[in-house]
Structure 1
Amino acid sequence: MNQIIINVDKFQTRAALLEDGKASEIFIERDDEKKVNGSIFKGRVANVLPGMESAFVDIGLEKNAFLYVKDLREFEERYLDGIENSERPIEDILNVGDEVVVQILKDPRGSKGARVTTHYTIPGKYLVLMPNNDYVAISQKIKSSAERGRLEKLLTDIKPDTMGVIIRTAAEGKSELHFEREVEYLVKKWNEIESRITSAKAGETLYSDNELVMTVVRDIFSSKVDELIIDDEEKYWQILDYVSAFSENSLKTKIKLYDEEEPIFDAYGVSKQIDEALNEEVRLDCGGSVVIQRTEALVSIDINTGKNTGSMNLDSTVLETNLEAAWEIPRQLRLRNLSGIIIIDFIDMKSEEDKQKVLKELEKTLKRDRIKNNIIHFTDLGLVEMTRKRVGKTLSHYFQQECPLCQGTGKIKSKEAVSLEIISEIKNVATDRDISKVKLKLAKELSTFFKEVYREFMEVYLKSKRKKLVIEVDSSKEKNEYEIILEV
């Protein structure tokens, strides 16, 4: 059973896709962190970089957006001088201060600004409108050649001659009426955007992609979903109106309003599953485990047999654990929204047949992922290398922050290392004749360790320098924090 659970409150909107009770995707939109991916802005060129064939564009966000020359061609052809298939360098197209309309391809991330383009797209439930193109593209997930041909013919006849469309996976099996209504809606929306271009000021938003609730309804809610349950009445009626306009009436019966006292994410077990997804280790039903670690360069995934001792031989135990891991890993990638280069270290398998079974299970489960991914192969070291496209923020972004003590390393200095550091600092100042007392203010655990191991040594040392040692516990300090106070 597939369910969509939506929670709306004053500070954030959250949605979860459950597959047989297990969370596979989590979507979060907070009021102080609105999504900008897909939005169209009128920007002003802040800097042109000939050597990088790109420009920085001020679109009113904290950091300037990055525009490649290849992403500028359509704007050049339609709105600048009409040259088609131009290969002019970017410095011949844009100057500092020029105004350009851009759409965000990738959200700002870390120290990087947004990646923008002039290849505009306006998404609908079944189609994506391309205002500056005139061809029809079809989702690769639609496999039937007969269906692809039917859809291409339908949309070639329906779409405006000067515009193009991408036929989404959800369009499979849909009638001409669905497409006529959506093309009319999307063209109208683009005309509204284009009419504002001249009068808009630089930095102004011309179009924002739908907020989270309607995006989830548009992109995920389909005949494959058995229930959509939401705890906000206003949004509930909005969903009904949207479905009435663009989808089958049968979907309306699947939409339910939740009005119980218990928070909806708690009632459906989503909160607990989010907490579990923030841990590095995932326990498998067979007794094995999957350890997922994210680094700057890649995502590392390691599989262990753990408590799975098996009931037959070692090869069978290993295969059982690897197969379950191959099913669980794609769910965890979707749930945590991990992307980029992903390296999976399955437990070593001697049989080539067993390796292929594991790869097939991994490929089959990855097909459920809406985000583009690609398995490269088993490397010579026996690792599986794959990639997943970066879309949005990771789950941990919304629930975790860097540890102030370890700065993201996952480790802090040992009590021994900190104690020796304290001794070294004291020795550096002990020769000062004006100092009569050295006071140490230590975190409780560090204080206990220092007194047991080094107190006697330091008291003797400082006494030889005619100085006194005082050790105090400071409850405001954490772990291995300390302060040295020198008194005359």
Structure 2
Amino acid sequence: MNRIIINVNDFQKRAAIIEEDKVVEIFNERNDESNIIKNIYKGKVANVLPGMESAFVDIGLEKNSFLYVDDLREFEEKYLNGIVNSNKAIEELLTVGDKVVVQVLSVPRGNKGARVTTNFTIPGKYLVLMPNNDHLAISKKIKDEDERKRLEDIFKEIKPAKMGVIIRTAAEGKSIHHFEREMIYLVKKWEEIERRIKRAKTGEILYNDNDIVTTILRDVLNNSVDELIVDNEKIYLDIIDYINAFSESNITTKIKLYTGEKDIFQEYGVDNEIERALKKEVWLDCGGYLVIEKTEALVSIDVNTGKNTGSYNLERTVLNTNLEAAREIPRQLRLRNLSGIIIIDFIDMKLQEDKELVLQQLDAELKRDRIKNNIVHFTDLGLVEMTRKRVGRNLSYFYEEECPVCSGKGKIKSSESLAFEIIREIKQVANEKDISKIYIRARREVINLIKDSYFDMLSEYLNLRKKEFILEEKDIWNYEITLGK
């Protein structure tokens, strides 16, 4: 059963895609910087960096966005009185204080601001309108050459002058009637954006493409989905209206309003799946498991046999575990929305044909992913290197925050190291004349260690200086030392 589950409340919108009864994608919509991909802003140039051929643009976010000169060309030609195919340097195109309209390509990450462009795209279900160029492209997922030629001929007729179009995979087999209707809608949307440009203020959003309900209806809902279930009556009616306007009418029978008392994400097991997706370890049905860890530079995935001892020889056990991992890894990438460079450490395989089978399985599952990805190769170290395009935030962004104790390391100081730090600090303050008591507060393990191993030494050291110390248990991960008279 393939389902789409949509949860709407006063705080957020969430959606889950379920394929063959397994949750494979989660969407979250909140009013923060996590949902700005494809938004179009009126910006102001804050700084120009000739040496980096780029500029920083203030679009009203916490950090200024980053604009490369190559992402400025078409806008310069159309709106800044530039020369067609100009090769002028960034400092000749922009100066500090200039107004420029940009579209977000990637969200802010760490100390980096959002990456922006002036090569605008306005997506629809069957096509993507490119207002600033005259290019016609067809999705590579449409393989049939006759179909590609048919679509190309149709769009050469209906494409607006001086605008470009990307023909999406969903256009395959559809009639010109679908395309004309959507083309009119997208062109009107762009004309509305252009009308707002002059009167808009810096940081104002001219176009918002991040309503998850619209995204689901446009990019996900198709004939392979058995049902779409939503728990909000207004959104339910909006979905029906959207489908009647832009999709096949038979899809409306798949739309259902959920009225159960239990939370819809609990009813369909989505919350449980999210909890599992926030853990490093993922257990496979065969008894093996994955360890998934995200760093600043890349995502590493380690495959282990775990409890899978097999019933055949070692090579067969390893192959079966790796094949199941190759099926599960693409689902986890989609579910967690992990992207960038991904390194997979499959269990070592001696036979080349076994490696080929695992790569074929991995490639077949990755083709189900809507987000562009690419398997690079098996490295000389036996690692699979692949990439996945960055689109939005990963799942943990919405459900976790950095630990204030370990600062994201995943580890805290041991009881021994804290005990040594306490002893060093006691020695530093023990010679102060105006104190007579030293209060030491720490978690139980640290206090017990001091009592068992260092109590006599500390007592003797402080008695010579006419000081006493008091040990107190406190539910903290570090320690506190206060002084008393």
TM-score bracket, normalised by the shorter chain, equals: over 0.9
Segments of 4+ moved more than 4 angstroms? none
Q: Which whole-Å CA distance do the structure 1 matches of 2:109 and 2:451 have between them?
A: 46
Aligned residue for 2:78, secondary structure, equals: helix
Against the structure 1 CA distance between its residues 33 and 120, is the aligned structure 2 distance closer, same or farther, given a 3 Å change threshold? closer
Match of 2:37 in 1: 37
Q: Deviations over 1:349-374 (max 9, x none)?
A: 01101000000000000001111111
Q: Deviations over 1:94-144 (max 9, x none)?
A: 111111111111122222221111111111011000112222101111111
Structure 2 matches for 1:396-407, cutoff 5 A?
Answer: 396-407=396-407
Match of 2:421 in 1: 421
Offset at 1:435?
Answer: 3.0
Q: Which whole-Å CA distance do the structure 2 matches of 1:283 and 1:275 have between them?
A: 13
Residue identity matched to 2:382: G
Moved more, 240-249 or 24-33: 24-33
Q: Which whole-Å CA distance do the structure 1 matches of 2:150 and 2:292 have between them?
A: 43
Match of 2:357 in 1: 357
Against the structure 1 CA distance between its residues 33 and 94, is the aligned structure 2 distance closer, same or farther, given a 3 Å change threshold? closer
Aligned residue for 1:150, secondary structure, equals: helix
Residue identity matched to 2:214: M
Paired residues of 2:53 and 2:69 also in contact (CA < 8 A): yes
Match of 1:232 in 2: 232
Is it true that 1:339 corresponds to 2:339 in the alignment? yes
Is it true that 1:136 corresponds to 2:133 in the alignment? no
Structure 2 matches for 1:160-171, cutoff 5 A?
Answer: 160-171=160-171
Is it true that 1:5 corresponds to 2:5 in the alignment? yes
Q: Which whole-Å CA distance do the structure 1 matches of 2:111 and 2:63 have between them?
A: 8
The number of aligned residues is: 485
Residue identity matched to 1:363: D
Structure 2 matches for 1:17-416, cutoff 5 A?
Answer: 17-32=17-32, 35-416=35-416
Q: Which whole-Å CA distance do the structure 1 matches of 2:38 and 2:171 have between them?
A: 21
Q: Which whole-Å CA distance do the structure 1 matches of 2:348 and 2:185 have between them?
A: 54
Aligned residue for 2:72, secondary structure, equals: helix
Is it true that 1:449 corresponds to 2:449 in the alignment? yes
TM-score (norm 1): 0.97
Residue identity matched to 1:485: T
Q: Deviations over 1:434-472 (max 9, x none)?
A: 332222122233222322222222112212222222212
Give RMSD over aligned pairs: 1.3
Residue identity matched to 2:52: M
Q: Which whole-Å CA distance do the structure 2 matches of 1:210 and 1:180 have between them?
A: 24
Q: Which whole-Å CA distance do the structure 2 matches of 1:22 and 1:347 have between them?
A: 25
Q: Which whole-Å CA distance do the structure 2 matches of 1:83 and 1:192 have between them?
A: 26
Match of 1:15 in 2: 15
Q: Which whole-Å CA distance do the structure 2 matches of 1:270 and 1:253 have between them?
A: 23
Query: Of residues 471, 474, 480 in structure 2, which corresponds to 1:483?
Result: 480
Aligned residue for 1:347, secondary structure, equals: coil
Q: Which whole-Å CA distance do the structure 1 matches of 2:29 and 2:316 have between them?
A: 44
Residue identity matched to 1:13: K
Residue identity matched to 1:125: K
Residue identity matched to 2:439: K
Gaps of 5+ in 1: none
Offset at 1:82?
Answer: 4.1
Moved more, 49-58 or 431-440: 431-440
Residue identity matched to 1:223: N
TM-score (norm 2): 0.98
Gaps of 5+ in 2: none
Q: Which whole-Å CA distance do the structure 1 matches of 2:63 and 2:35 have between them?
A: 15
Against the structure 1 CA distance between its residues 32 and 86, is the aligned structure 2 distance closer, same or farther, given a 3 Å change threshold? closer
Offset at 1:294?
Answer: 0.8
Residue identity matched to 2:366: L
Match of 1:473 in 2: 473
Q: Percent identity?
A: 64
Moved more, 118-127 or 430-439: 430-439
Offset at 1:172?
Answer: 0.9
Q: Which whole-Å CA distance do the structure 2 matches of 1:407 and 1:47 have between them?
A: 32
Aligned residue for 2:418, secondary structure, equals: helix
